[in-house]
Amino acid sequence: MDGARVEVFAPDGIGEIPAGTDLAVVAAPFVVEGDVVVVTSKVVSKAEGRVVAGDREQAIVDETVRVVARRGPTSIVETRLGVVMAAAGVDASNVAPGFLVLLPVDPDASARRIREGIAAATGHNVAVIVSDTAGRAWRHGQTDLALGVAGLHPLESFDGAVDSYGNPLAVTAPAVADELAGIAEVVTGKLGGRPLTVVRGLAGRVLPPTEHGPGARVLVREAGTDMFGLGTREAVTAAVAGHDQHLFGAPATVEDLLRALNACGLSARSRPDGVEVAASADARLSLLAFAHGWQVHAEQSGDSATTLVRLS
Amino acid sequence: MDGARVEVFAPDGIGEIPAGTDLAVVAAPFVVEGDVVVVTSKVVSKAEGRVVAGDREQAIVDETVRVVARRGPTSIVETRLGVVMAAAGVDASNVAPGFLVLLPVDPDASARRIREGIAAATGHNVAVIVSDTAGRAWRHGQTDLALGVAGLHPLESFDGAVDSYGNPLAVTAPAVADELAGIAEVVTGKLGGRPLTVVRGLAGRVLPPTEHGPGARVLVREAGTDMFGLGTREAVTAAVAGHDQHLFGAPATVEDLLRALNACGLSARSRPDGVEVAASADARLSLLAFAHGWQVHAEQSGDSATTLVRLS
């Protein structure tokens, strides 16, 4: 039968991975030319000695660049890698009690090392993904995603492509590395002691041996370009505090600003020198402007009208 | 070699799917007992006659329950299904110019119908996933996810499970249906005309023929329990407008409220009757309280101190 076909398998019997283990040697017996090898970040961390004794809460603080949202015991943070996940990827499961597994320091570099090691050991050109587990906005449950990638474009670009009717495609960049990490999670399971998965049948997507591609970093959206760079409460707190304006992104269009003002019952119109609001400048108007990358123009504002101008 | 293994294939030659097509009949020649069949929502919509001529902007408005975030031409919305995605899933690709594909009315029901149809046509017990493509917070690119599911638990629960060291597992619910939709996307590609993918090797996860499971609806997080139920700007706008308080979730803990107040430079302390802030009640304090599910207690507040109490 014609079509596209891949095979995904996770070998048993790999067992515990002590610090100093060469994961390329572990993977080598299972791969052939053109495979994609998915290794859990847990195992990469163990092999790289990123297991520490210590206090989980303190480790989370140490690994956190920025708190994105927090409710009670749950904190969603930006890690040093730029990846947003719960508890900064600090994990106390599948490790001896009292110990913690931290994320690999540079998972793209880890993926490159494993890829090069497999090539050296076997002569086979493969791609390597270092995977981890994360929750999502809007949806229950967790999926595995790519924390490190070598030898594969993490985002497959269809920008400019058209369908068979000549329409431009709405989806321009499937995150294939995340999708491959996901199927590895399904096949390995969380309890099976299978730290390694091989995806066979995607040789056409594996880059030449000398090209590692841009790495999983291209999957990370910078906070300032993200509409969800803060939780709902944290966005209001940041606006009230007057902090972190860059997290709200580039200045809003006039249309978007007018829409927000109208939602607050404020009558407003666009003028050549800015947006004029039929209200005196007050705290609420300042907050709205702040969150939209605009500000009150003090000289052109009075008791009955306020002019907002874009933050430069 | 021992281990876990699945095979994923997407047959060629299925061709265009006219309205009225029985997708179970289309899938039947490719499946065996225990398969998981992934069908794109695009094809389900076409088979179910959800292709309409019309204006894309108007169709998006019609399919939208709630705007989650909007910047310029991009709007992220909650669809009638509760799923958060760009443009309400209204798609103008892979359809004749001037026409639009709307999401299936009830993708869980579509999945059940296809599953039952396959059983009737072949005698094989399979699971069916109706997939669609969506962007994510924090990460570039899109992944496919499960819009409808029958015959499989969309969330595999490890709640209460322990690892080989006896530690509780941090990840309690892998969203396997989303991960399976993802690998189907990788195998089919966006341009290949392969609307159908079969995942073979997960028979242990396929439910008995009489059980369809809870459907993809269990993957949808209700907005009020989501820390990201509004974009950053929309959260500020909602607070200023005094709208949509439920989207900020259940009242914050005292600790979380104190943290937010402190971030705004406000000195506050917990008291038996609420949280006392060393400041007069002003618009900013009201907004902070609103976003955290608290409010100003007017009778116990004065010029130098304000008492906040939980919204009941």
Residues 39-98 of B with CB under 8 A from A: 69-72, 76, 83-84, 87, 91-97
> What is d(CA B214, CA B29) in angstroms, rounded to the nearest whole number?
27
Range in A156-170, A297-311, B28-42 with the lowest mean pLDDT: A156-170
Residues B84 and B211 in one domain: yes
Phi, psi of A201, deg, nearest 5? 120, 5
CB A215 within 8 A of CB A154: yes
Residue B3: pLDDT over 90: no
Residue A238 lies in a domain: no
Q: Using the beta-carbon criterion (under 8 Å), do A97 and B249 form an inter-chain contact?
A: no
**Average pLDDT, rounded, for chain A:** 93
* Model-level ipTM above the cut of 0.90: yes
Chain A residue with Cα closest to B233: A291
Q: Using the beta-carbon criterion (under 8 Å), do B5 and A187 form an inter-chain contact?
A: yes
Residues 194-223 of A with CB under 8 A from B: 194, 202, 218-221
pLDDT at B164: 67
Q: What is the CATH number of the domain that holds B130?
A: 3.30.1330.100
Does B140 contact chain A (CB < 8 Å)? yes
Phi, psi of B168, deg, nearest 5? -65, 145
Residues B295 and B200 in one domain: no
Residue A3: pLDDT over 70: yes
Q: Using the beta-carbon criterion (under 8 Å), do A138 and B228 form an inter-chain contact?
A: yes
Residues B289 and B150 in one domain: no
Encode pLDDT of B109-129 as tens digits: 999 999 999 999 999 999 999
> What is d(CA A293, CA A254) in angstroms, rounded to the nearest whole number?
11
pLDDT at A302: 83
Does A282 contact chain B (CB < 8 Å)? yes
Residues B151 and B42 in one domain: yes
CA distance B92 to chain A (A): 7
Q: Using the beta-carbon criterion (under 8 Å), do A92 and B187 form an inter-chain contact?
A: no
Q: A150: helix, coil or strand?
A: strand
Phi, psi of B261, deg, nearest 5? -60, -45
Q: How much is the pTM?
A: 0.95
CA distance B136 to chain A (A): 8
Encode pLDDT of A241-281 as tens digits: 999 999 999 999 999 999 999 999 999 999 998 999 999 99
Average pLDDT over residues B48-60: 94
Residue B214 corresponds to which tokens in the numbers above?
A: 């809870």
By DSSP bridging, strand A274-277 and strand A268-271 are antiparallel
pLDDT at B191: 62
Encode pLDDT of A97-115 as tens digits: 889 999 999 999 999 999 9
Residues A117 and A211 in one domain: yes
Residues B288 and B148 in one domain: no
Residues B262 and B190 in one domain: no
Chain B residue with Cα closest to A262: B241
> What is d(CA B40, CA B185) in angstroms, rounded to the nearest whole number?
9
Residues B179 and B261 in one domain: no
Residue A306 lies in a domain: yes
Q: A100: helix, coil or strand?
A: strand
Q: Using the beta-carbon criterion (under 8 Å), do A8 and B7 form an inter-chain contact?
A: yes
Domain that holds residue B282: 250-310
Residue B211: pLDDT over 80: yes
Residue A227 lies in a domain: no
> What is d(CA B121, CA B24) in angstroms, rounded to the nearest whole number?
8
Q: How many CB atoms lie within 10 A of CB A278?
A: 12
Residues B175 and B289 in one domain: no
Tell me which chain A residues have a C-beta less than 8 angstroms from the C-beta of B76: 227
A116 confidence band (pLDDT: 50, 70, 90): very high
B167 confidence band (pLDDT: 50, 70, 90): low
